[in-house]
Amino acid sequence: VAHQETHGFQTEVKQLLQLMIHSLYSNKEIFLRELVSNAADAADKLRFRALSDNSLYENDGELRVRLSVDKDANTITIADNGIGMTRDQIIEHLGTIAKSGTKEFFSQLSGDQAKDSKLIGQFGVGFYSAFIVADKVTVRSRAAGVDASQGVEWQSAGEGDFTVADIEKKDRGTEIILHLRDDEKEFLDDWRLRSIVSKYSDHINIPVEMYKEEEPERDGPAGPDGEPGEKIPAVPAHWEAVNKATALWNRDKSDVSDDEYKEFYKHISHDFADPLLWSHNKVEGKTEYTSLLYIPSKAPFDMWNRDQKHGLKLFVQRVFIMDDAEQFMPTYLRFVKGLLDSNDLPLNVSREILQDNKITQAMRQGCTKRVLQMLEKLAKNDAEKYQLFWNEFGNVLKEGPAEDFSNKEKVASLLRFASTHNDNDAQNVSLDDYISRMKEGQDKIYFVSADSFAAAKSSPHLEVFRKKGIEVLLLSDRIDEWLMQHLTEYSEKALQSISRGDLDLGELEDEDSKKAQEEAEKEVEGVLERIKTVLGEKVSDVKFTHRLTDSPACVVVDEYGMSTQMIKLMQAAGQ
């Protein structure tokens, strides 16, 4: 080996390795899924690059990954002929975690292994999972299109550091050699490996091959009268695919099992947990494409990081084009993972071409509709599961009415709120639930918003509503104010803040109480004028109110002014 160097792992990698080895012990076979998944990604990347430079195939265009074992050396080798890595890439990709927000994520870990191992699930494990079963990992790689002398060897025991050295490597691609821990010898078993591949990697779209020993010529089954059967010819040793090796999304829905959909999700999303829900569709007609869209079960730790990549994996006619194509999903559905395979886009499509493209737009509309439909169906058929979705992603969905005018009503029907009906902070009341409980003569949907649920719940504005038994939605998320500015109507009913302007309860007001109110106002004649003089410029007006039953007074914003919540938001933003 030449030019050998030792590098330290990024701190977060060290933490990840520690946690992973302990927490994934009962599920250690997933290391193979992760390594095969990376090999398939490497094949996708090569195919894409070769679209514009066919020489990268180096006369070997049959992309595949091969598994082999060496029982004497105690090793498993996973070898692909994909894109490969240069020395710099290997140091970067196998020494750091290239995800923004990682540092923050790790700084939040509690140090309690049981708790933290749950968090790491949503983080994804990837290459480093090799160390669950191996106490030494050797990676030999050579990037497509470079000279055989530019190979690189990476080696680590999964502790603090790794070495890299220059090597000669004739074959393009990456070879990962796992030196198994003493108690992990079960993975040397051919049958065990095959069953792991079919469990986790059947959907991978390149062949996952294992070596089959030579089968000598033998006798076929004997005939009915005991005469010898025909000879079955010898089969020379060969590499044999042990997976289906077809693109899962091209298969018929009825041929794909739930488990396959779940494993495929883990492959494309780099998530570790099962998805909550998915929808697989072949769209024909003016624009033709296949979509496979997933809703994760957990929000990623970086969902609020605006720079974080999101979007769908894009294929054109089965050829992988790019990850994170964000043009196909509105921002308020940024939690959706999945892929699109278009028949119409050109193979040389770029992010620039995708922008302002009619085909893109049609696909985006189609996908948006699919996701909303999938959520509607879930809400209708499985409220409990829908609630799980809402608790994870509800606050993102609330960006919908502002962003997507054409689907405003649909998104609104998916929203869930806390309300005085339940009087707790669980957000599980839909606008339709609310409407079904509206009082005779009530024509508006009432809400109050505050900094916290406790503040909303004890708002003095609520008093008259509680007295009259009228339900009020209790809003306390930061985004709610923004939401309500854009959601002024649902199902032809106005949404009305109860802390805004003159509250006109319309037909809910009865004649008797109006009379009583007038009398009450007469009793305190002169008070208004005195308060006005005292407060002077500080307020724009002082009025009688009959909204309050226990509190003596409250501050309101006039009908067109900024709400107190919005004022606080603006102040927080430094305006």
Please report whether residue 82 would count as binding Mg ion according to CB under 5 A.
no
The residue among 37 and 342 lying less far from Mg ion, judged by its C-beta, is 37
Buried b vs exposed e over 294-332: b needs ≥16 C-beta within 10 Å? Answer: bbbbbbbbbbeeeeeebbbbbbbeeebbbbebebbbbeb
* Residue 470 · residue 446 · CB < 8 Å: yes
- Binds ligand ADP (CB under 6 A): choice among 47, 66, 82, 398: 82
Please report whether residue 124 would count as binding ligand ADP according to CB under 6 A.
yes
- Phi, psi (rounded to 5 degrees) for 58: 50, 40
User: What is the nearest approach in angstroms of ligand ADP to the Cβ of residue 253?
Assistant: 27
- Binds ligand ADP (CB under 6 A): choice among 13, 19, 30, 83: 83
User: What is the nearest approach in angstroms of Mg ion to the Cβ of residue 78?
Assistant: 12
User: What is the nearest approach in angstroms of ligand ADP to the Cβ of residue 154?
Assistant: 10
Number of H helices, E strands in the chain: 20, 21
The residue among 43 and 371 lying less far from ligand ADP, judged by its C-beta, is 43
Please report whether residue 126 would count as binding Mg ion according to CB under 5 A.
yes
- Token reading at 356: 């302002």
Residue 124 touches which of Mg ion, ligand ADP, none (CB < 5 to 8 A by kind)? ligand ADP
Rounded to whole angstroms, the Cα distance separating 455 from 467 reads 19
Please report whether residue 80 would count as binding ligand ADP according to CB under 6 A.
yes
Please report whether residue 29 would count as binding ligand ADP according to CB under 6 A.
no
* Binding range to Mg ion, per CB under 5 A, among 36-44, 104-112, 279-287, 442-450: 36-44
Neighbours of 242 (CB within 10 A): 21
- Binds ligand ADP (CB under 6 A): choice among 9, 15, 126, 151: 126
Binding-site size for ligand ADP (CB under 6 A) equals 17
* Residue 174 · residue 82 · CB < 8 Å: yes
Q: What is the DSSP string of 538-553?
A: G-S-----SS-SS-S-
- Token reading at 458: 């004890």
- Phi, psi (rounded to 5 degrees) for 293: -115, 135
* Nearest CA-CA partner of 295 in 386, 366, 380: 386
Buried b vs exposed e over 50-63: b needs ≥16 C-beta within 10 Å? Answer: beeeeebbeeeeeb
- Token reading at 10: 């990024």
Neighbours of 93 (CB within 10 A): 17
- Binds ligand ADP (CB under 6 A): choice among 74, 81, 155, 174: 174
Please report whether residue 38 would count as binding Mg ion according to CB under 5 A.
yes
* Nearest CA-CA partner of 446 in 417, 403, 426: 417
Please report whether residue 39 would count as binding ligand ADP according to CB under 6 A.
yes
Please report whether residue 428 would count as binding Mg ion according to CB under 5 A.
no
The residue among 28 and 385 lying less far from Mg ion, judged by its C-beta, is 28
* Binding range to ligand ADP, per CB under 6 A, among 124-132, 308-316, 488-496, 508-516: 124-132
Query: Which residues between 56 and 75 bind Mg ion (CB under 5 A)?
Result: none
The residue among 34 and 481 lying less far from ligand ADP, judged by its C-beta, is 34
Please report whether residue 129 would count as binding Mg ion according to CB under 5 A.
no
Residue numbers at the binding site for ligand ADP (CB under 6 A): 34, 38-39, 41-42, 80, 82-85, 93-94, 124, 126-127, 174, 270
Residue numbers at the binding site for Mg ion (CB under 5 A): 38, 126
